[in-house]
Structure 1
Amino acid sequence: MKFAARTPARDVAAEVPNVEADEAESDWPLAPNYAVRPLIARAVFKDSLTAKIQTDLRLRKPVTILITTPTADWTLAIAAQASTVYPFSKVASAAKAPSKSAALECPAPTGAVFGISPNLSWLSPTVVAGADHKVRLKIRPSVIGQALASYCGKRRVPVRNADVSGLDLPDIVYAMRPGSTPRQCVERMRRAVESRSAPPATKIVPKLDELSGYGAAAQTMKGLASDFERKRETAVPFTMPGVLLHGRPGCGKTMLAQSFARSVKAPFLSTSVAHWFRAGDGHLGDVAIAAQRFFDRAVAQAPSVALLDEIDAIPDRAAMEGRDRSFWTPIVTGLLMQIDELRRGGSGVILIAATNHFDQLDTALIRPGRFDLHVEIKGPETPAEVESVFRHCLEDDLGGVSITPAVRLASLATGAEIDSWVRLARDQAARASRPLSLTDLIDAIAPAEDRPLEELKEIALHEAAHAAVGYWLGVNVQSATLLSTSTQAGSTQIGPDGGIFSRVELERRATAMLAGRASDEILSRGVTSGAASDLHKATALVLDIHVRLGLGETLLARESVEFSHLLLDPILRALVEDDLRRLMEDARAHVRRLEIPIRTLAAQLVQNRVITADDIAAAVGSRDSAWTHPQLEFER
């Protein structure tokens, strides 16, 4: 590597590397103990100054130069180099936000003035307003590679963006040790990058290629990962689209973001609105500062991956009134400005947001230009995907054992639920001082049943009626189960068929909801309180048909619907009541028609505790099926 001037080795600290020189091999034998920090800082400092700036400095013009640094460590090192390389200049630097009472440094512009900070708002407004040049500190891999060759006195090795992505100055300095070759130093940097590509965890976050149960969402993120890596290698500022991950709780939104970061080997940062409030006293200023720090850290470690978790904690301003609106509007507006600044600046940060409630988000927050890609995570949907998630969580446990019974019980479970069951099963095996068994796993998913058999048969008939009638009517029935929770004795899962429904399609769904009550009347001991939630759902759906969706007898529609409308409007109440009675009669007719498959499915439920879509299809068959009574496990 060549330098602007050759000096004896004893005065190497005064040398300034010429980073535009040939990169083949260092021709200057440096002592291995040469100070690393000044070497790196000086090379990066000189590389960041444009030709025009260097000309102005050589002519000693009274110019003001603002340098935006990635971090506080870079700020201190670059400020020291500015004073050393250009001793006639004055330096105003700020490595952290000034206190409210602090007097901001404002040197007299009698000569060159450097303003250096990670955040230019921390400098004197006078210095910022009077700037002649603004530059962002560039940490180019080729400059790091030249510094490595100079430090080690060896031939230069290639350094890629991915090798130093997101590393702070201390990380780079720590990787360069006396007696090491450039290749060894680069390998240390790579390990440092890898360690920051995901947060500490009890087990390694899988890469995107290793994920299971994410379907189209994983494919979308793989495409983004390729774009991120390609743009990073160009060594020029780049912008990535904002990504909004949404899905039900526990479907793996945070895991997908972490996996993306690990796959591209980029630093991963995570925050939430709750964290912003915990960072201070909850006052507006404290929340704004905490949010700003998150974005500053993301830019400082760029190229990086920044996750804004549970973004639905930012309320929709259109739904707020009075004091709530007054408090939240500055926070929402500030967040929007920070996102816009991040996107405009070519920061190299990919901002990912995650939410369980996509429909509750502020429309200004999720518009294109802020979050361009809306990625729904549905979780594992097929038995193969469910088993793949189980195998990932189990690691080496139950390697040669079929886990099909557990997979059936876990139909439509989220990744978080599966992980929780595996941990519970391991705890149970550990308490018994034995290896994990399939029985432990099944017990964790479906604890031993303590309900009477007659009660289970009754619940099974109820759920089987939902499933059989729904399937018969073309509703997307996914599964039914006897597994109980704190709020339900069993459940039938009905998936979406699309985003647009006709009145006939919605009424078929309502009929399937009422089929459980019809089964209680016809096949069991009579109507019980167990069908109360079915009635609530069916009533809400029919009310929507008339009031919100514009599918009733009037074109008048309201944006929101409440049950109180039925109390205030006797005509509407009569319409809903008439529809419910008509649909209830339809449900009774279908239960009588489908009694044999309903009893077949109920018997399978009692035995297996879960039935899948395939089980339901096999029992009900087509509408032309003619059923004969099979040998059932229990009779009416």
Structure 2
Amino acid sequence: MGPAGEWARRLVADLQAYRAGMLPWLEIDRGAVLVGPPGTGKTSLARAVAASAGLPLVASSLQQWQGARDGHLGTLLGAMQATFTQARRAAPSILLIDEIDSFTARTELPAHHRDYSTQVVNGLLELLDGALSREGVVVLGTCNDATHLDPAILRPGRLERLLAVPLPDHAGLVALLRQAAAPLHFAPEEVEALAVAALGRRATGAAVELWARDARRRARAERRPLAVADFQAAIGPPPPPWPEDDLLRIALHEAGHAVVAAVLEPDLLGDTRLAREPAELGDEGVRGFVAWRLDDALAQPLVLTSPRLRRLLAIKLGGRAAEALALGEVSAGAGGGEGSDLALATATTARAVMMDGLGTPSRGHELVWLGRHGRREMIDALRSDPALWQVVAAELHVAHALALDTLAPHQTALQHLAQQLREKGRLSAEDVQRAIATPGRGGGERQTIPPASAAAGGALEE
């Protein structure tokens, strides 16, 4: 049972005690946000909590509230209030807000409808902990990605907790498959084989239900009892192994992040991991990552100076730099979606220039505060302002040069770590530090890295 399941179990026990008058409302969690990939059972978990505690479930979403009549702000807020009123009247109850990440962080709202959306978010916050008590109402939100969820929703007294509902592991898939095949009793080795195939396809609980329906349909069509072969046909053959060249490139990329971090900001470095086969993929399908506190440091470090910003950006671009240095070319691995290396580095640099006063007037952009911007607004500003785009691009080139300069003395260690990561799937921070300190691998005493390639243009002056 994962953290979300364990929390749900405790919540059910507390709610049962509350109903029996044995526990005051002050002792009950006010709510939580369940986050995970589609099909992992977030809504089902909320329903199970209500059913197990013997409580009514009231469900809605921002989309439903917006669909009430004309979608006018007053109508939307009225629909929200009506749902909370319904839950209060049914208390004790569970109120489910599906796709709660629709309540985007107010700092990221586009300017053209910021006033409307801000009032919508404020309306939800008022209902969660405003003047009207919601005693007896536990609010559960669900979403696939909480990255852009307004952080005020998670404050104590509101929804309080962010709980991951991940893809089922091997043991979870065994349990799901046994349940899906009931009342038949497959042999343990048969269920194990099915679970391995399902794990390779990163199966969700919803996928297992679909496969069970397909398996039963196949058996009915052939007018015979359900067999394990029907499940095997529904799941399909295991996915092919990934190309070795791709795995080695990804391992090199992640080792590059780790080496740059170990040299420039060693306190931020955690484990480095590589998914060597489909079954090892994480919930987001990421094939390699470094577990560090880097994103927190980029978001709000204690004191962000131009040199430290450059070091943090160099770490973010360290994977791309490792590919360029070791392979003579780069892949698209550093780019992609909003959570990619390049996206985060670009957004962070734009913030430094537009909001933190860390730009350089010599680059043709005045030292001026350009207002509070969310990530999307900053990217829109870059697209529409060539001068600003050039400043940010120059800063990123400087950070990339620093990453190259940092990796250059440690190329042997980089190759060694990439190979170790490919073989083991994991490197600890100590593994990385030991490799760069080992004589013959570019190690020895820790080197002091000079300002990143001043000849390339140092837009963030030290």
Q: TM-score range by the shorter chain?
A: 0.5 to 0.7
- Residue 478 of structure 1: aligned partner: 273
Question: Could you list the per-position Cα deviations for residues 46-104 of structure 1 after superposition, in whole angstroms to 9, with x for gaps in the alignment?
Answer: xxxxxxxxxxxxxxxxxxxxxxxxxxxxxxxxxxxxxxxxxxxxxxxxxxxxxxxxxxx
Aligned-partner Cα distance in 2 for 1:567–1:373 = 42
Cα 1:392–1:592 shift into 2, 3 Å: same
**Offset, 1:400:** 1.0
- Comparing both chains, which one has the higher relative contact order based on Cα–Cα distances under 8 Å and sequence gaps of 6 or more? 2
Structure 1: tracts of 5 or more residues without a match: 1-211, 522-526, 605-610, 629-636
Q: Contact 1:511–1:583 (CA<8 Å) still a contact in 2?
A: yes
Distance 1:289 1:461, change over 3 A: same
Count of aligned positions? 384
CA spacing shift, 1:512–1:297, aligned 2, 3 Å: same
Once the 2 structures are TM-superposed, how far is the Cα of residue 272 of structure 1 from its aligned partner?
0.7
TM normalised by structure 1 equals 0.48
**Percent identity (aligned):** 21
**Alignment pair present for 1:375 and 2:162:** yes
- Secondary structure of 1:244 counterpart: strand
* Greater radius of gyration (CA): 1
Q: Secondary structure at the match of 1:351?
A: strand
The equivalent of 2:18 in structure 1 is 231
Residue 204 of structure 2 is matched in structure 1 by 418
| TM, length-normalised to structure 2 | 0.63
Partner of 2:318: 511
Distance 2:244 2:409 in 1: 21
Change (3 A) 1:595 1:359: closer
- Pick one of 297, 306, 309 that aligns with 1:500: 297
Classify 1:281/1:373 alpha carbon distance in 2 versus 1 (closer, same or farther; 3 Å).
same
Partner of 1:312: 101
Aligned CA distance change for structure 1 residues 234 and 409 (closer, same or farther; 3 Å): same
Q: Output the amino acid matched with 2:161.
A: H
Tell me, in whole angstroms, the C-alpha distance in 2 between the residues paired with 1:621 and 1:441. 48
Q: CA deviation at 1:530?
A: 3.9
Q: Which amino acid counterpart does residue 47 of structure 2 have in structure 1? A: Q
Aligned residue runs from structure 1 range 552-571, under 5 A: 560=373, 561-562=378-379, 563-564=382-383, 567-568=387-388, 570=390
1:533 aligned partner: 335
Is residue 547–residue 556 contact of structure 1 (8 Å, CA) maintained in 2? no
Q: Deviations over 1:327-378 (max 9, x none)?
A: 45665555445444695264x2222233445453446655444x05223326
Higher helix share: 2
CA distance in 1: counterparts of 2:348 and 2:72, whole angstroms: 44
List per-residue Cα deviations over 1:145-176 (Å, max 9, x = no partner).
xxxxxxxxxxxxxxxxxxxxxxxxxxxxxxxx
Q: What SS class does the counterpart of residue 296 from structure 1 fall into?
A: helix
Of 35, 43, 46, 1:247 maps to: 35
Closer, same or farther: CA 359–423 of 1 in aligned 2, 3 Å: closer
Shift of 1:245: 0.9
In structure 2, relative to structure 1, the CA distance for the partners of 1:579 and 1:493 (3 Å cut) is closer
Q: Does the C-alpha gap of structure 1 residues 344 and 591 become closer, same or farther in structure 2, counting only changes over 3 Å? A: same
Q: Do structure 1's residue 574 and structure 2's residue 367 form an aligned pair?
A: no
Correspondences of 1:189-588 after superposition (within 5 Å): 212=1, 214-215=2-3, 217-234=4-21, 238=25, 240-250=28-38, 252-284=41-73, 286-316=75-105, 320=109, 324-325=113-114, 327-328=116-117, 331-332=120-121, 334-340=123-129, 344=133, 346=135, 348-358=136-146, 360-362=148-150, 365-369=153-157, 371=158, 373-377=160-164, 379=166, 386-396=169-179, 400-401=188-189, 402=192, 405-406=196-197, 409=200, 417-423=203-209, 425-426=211-212, 429=215, 433=219, 435-436=227-228, 440=232, 447-448=239-240, 456-470=243-257, 473=262, 474-481=269-276, 491-497=287-293, 499-500=296-297, 503=308, 504=311, 507-521=314-328, 527=329, 530-531=332-333, 533=335, 537-543=340-346, 546=349, 548=351, 560=373, 561-562=378-379, 563-564=382-383, 567-568=387-388, 570=390, 573-587=393-407
Cα deviation code 1:429-474 (max 9, x no counterpart): 557646346994996595347xxx9xx2332221121244445544
> 1:375-416 CA distances to partner (integer Å, 9 max, x unpaired)?
332636xxxx71232123212556612458558746xx6xxx
Q: What is the alpha-carbon distance in structure 2 between the residues aligned to residue 496 and residue 393 of structure 1?
A: 33
Look up the equivalent residue of 2:318 and give its one-letter code: T
Question: AA paired with 1:514?
Answer: A
Q: Which is worse superposed, 507-516 or 356-365?
A: 356-365
Give the residue type in structure 1 aligned to 2:96. Answer: L
Q: Is the 8 A contact 1:475 1:494 kept in 2?
A: yes
Alignment check: 8 A CA contact 2:313 2:396 kept = no
Q: Alignment RMSD, CA only?
A: 4.9
Q: 1:262 to 1:316 in 2, by over 3 A?
A: same
1:261·1:305 contact (CA, 8 Å) conserved in 2?
yes
Alpha carbons of structure 1 residues 236 and 246: separation in structure 2 relative to 1, 3 Å: closer
